[in-house]
Amino acid sequence: MHMCADPSTLDGFNWWLCYLTTGKQIMFYESFLTVLALLFLTAPVVLLLGFGGAVSRRSHFAPLRWFGAAYTNVVRGVPDIIFFLFVPIAMDQGIEYIRHKIKCSDWDEPVRQGNDFVVCAAAKMPLGTSPQWVHEVYGFSLALIAFAIVFGAFAANTLYGAMQAVPRAQLETAEAFGMSERQVFWRIHVPQMWVFAMPGLTNLWMILIKASPLLFLLGVEDIVYWAKELGGAKTTRFAYPHPDWRVYYFGVLLVFYLFMTWISERVFVRINRKLSHGQATLGGLTDAEVTA
């Protein structure tokens, strides 16, 4: 806006209007979409990895069963922050190393030079000439993979327990009706397991929401980054000087995360009610009778 050209002449409502519509403020608003994108893109990958890990642990093929057990136990046994920091770095260097070997085969210097990892310019990911959005998408993708690997292990353990909790009598009844092992698994076992898995998956989703600020540690400009950047005190050298407002910016984040957990609880209650409709509870009542 034209009136925002000289912030020093503004006061009152006009000052706030111009301040809240600056380029960096817009990036702060857009960073909320970054967090939502992480949650809704990671969730299906987590379920896919979790389901694969759970099925692997139940496999009759020993190496696959060992792999599933190793994945769930190792990842769950190591502090999350280590994986969040290790996976993006390891993947980034692994990709660059492979590209380096392909594109710069005549390179005669070692890639490892003390604490530095040095590859030719053509092997860099992304390239230095790439636009900014490519760098941001690449960094976000590595972070998404790190989140998926970590939470996929927890989902695998939850789904494995849910599969084990399905009454054996239901599976035997299906077999007695002539269903094959594959049909029993997909038509009886998998649909029934979700009822037992929902409490654990609900908790896992809530933990994923709370873990999303770790994007800040992975170099992604998320809401925590911008709250810290914009909320810090700004002197007269800046166009919009102000004292330390971090408490207000982080207060906005508090409201955002509380709203996310509030709406998530209601969504999961509806999903759980739909999945358990008509099924008997431990008290002997059906779901419809319990909610009546």
* Distance separating alpha carbons of residues 171 and 72, to the nearest angstrom: 26
Beta carbons of 158 and 50 less than 8 angstroms apart: yes
The whole-number pLDDT of residue 282 equals 45
Q: Which domain holds residue 11?
A: 2-291
- Looking up residue 243, the CATH number of its domain turns out to be 1.10.3720.10
Spatial CA neighbour of 34 closest among 124, 133, 125: 133
What's the structural domain count of the chain? 1
Below-70 pLDDT ranges, the chain: 1-2, 10, 277-292
The whole-number pLDDT of residue 122 equals 82
